[in-house]
Amino acid sequence: MTAAAALPVRVYYEDTDAGGIVYHAAYLKYAERGRTEFLRALGVDQSKLRAETGIGFVVAGLTIDYLQPAFLDDLLTVQSIVARVRRVSLDFLQIVERGGVPIARLTVRVACIDAAGKPARLPDAMRAATMASPPS
């Protein structure tokens, strides 16, 4: 595994069902925020990258294991770890924790695409940054 980052996330009412339990799809939002902030910490500005190069990112694959429920007002941490860097994609391991205890585990493949939606090579600077030490 390579670079990693952590993002705190508070569970809001909008994230829960009528019983105050986090709705399953909310974990996808938490993971997206974790990946976005991870890349931002590495100096990757996705808007600028797209405007200057036409390169963007899409989720190409995802699995999620729900280990324990989360509840309204919980403070969670999304750990985002680059598990593998490929020519046109990054594999992330993302762990959602409450108080250091894993409550959900996601594996996410993010593919790099060009403006036409075709696979594109990861920029060299991004490849190097994701293989370096964790962002500060």
Which among 107, 136, 103 has a CA at the least distance from the CA of 11? 103
User: What pLDDT was estimated at residue 5?
Assistant: 86
**pLDDT > 50? residue 44:** yes
φ and ψ of 117, to 5 deg: 85, 10
Q: Which two tokens stand for residue 81?
A: 């770890």
**Domain segments of the chain as ranges:** 4-130
Give the residue-averaged pLDDT of 113-127.
Answer: 91
Q: Encode pLDDT of 66-86 as tens digits.
A: 999 999 999 999 999 999 999
User: What pLDDT was estimated at residue 1?
Assistant: 45
The percentage of residues in the chain with a pLDDT greater than 90, rounded to a whole number, is 74
In angstroms, the CA 134 to CA 60 distance is 24
Active site residue 91: no
Q: What is the CATH number of domain 4-130?
A: 3.10.129.10
The active-site residue out of 15, 17, 45, 124 is: 17
Higher pLDDT, 96 or 42: 96
Q: Residue type for 22, please?
A: V
Higher pLDDT, 43 or 70: 70
User: What pLDDT was estimated at residue 13?
Assistant: 96
**pLDDT > 80? residue 4:** no
